[in-house]
């Protein structure tokens, strides 16, 4: 079984950066992650700069 983690906080506080770093670290360990962007605000450039594969 997996876990569900919600990261929340004020706008421009680094939530997305933190989340992408955690996902990248988990993927390096061979784990599967899901990122749910409920606000439809994920910047595709930032996603690409994270260096991981996203679908």
C-beta separation of 49 from 22 below 8 A: no
Is the model's pTM score more than 0.75? Answer: no
User: CA dist 37 to 19, 30, 48, 52, Å?
Assistant: 11, 22, 15, 16
Give me the pLDDT at residue 40, please. Answer: 81
Residue 10 has a CB neighbour count (10 Å cut-off) of 7
C-beta separation of 12 from 38 below 8 A: no
Digits of tens for pLDDT over the chain (55 positions)? Answer: 688 889 999 988 988 889 888 888 888 888 888 888 888 877 777 777 666 555 5
> What ranges do the domains of the chain cover?
1-55
């Amino acid at each position: 079984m997996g876990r569900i983690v919600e990261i929340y906080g004020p706008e421009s506080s680094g939530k997305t950066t933190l989340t992408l770093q955690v996902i990248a670290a988990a993927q390096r360990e061979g784990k599967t992650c899901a990122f749910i962007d409920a606000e439809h605000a994920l910047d595709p450039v930032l996603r690409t700069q994270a260096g991981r594969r996203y679908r």
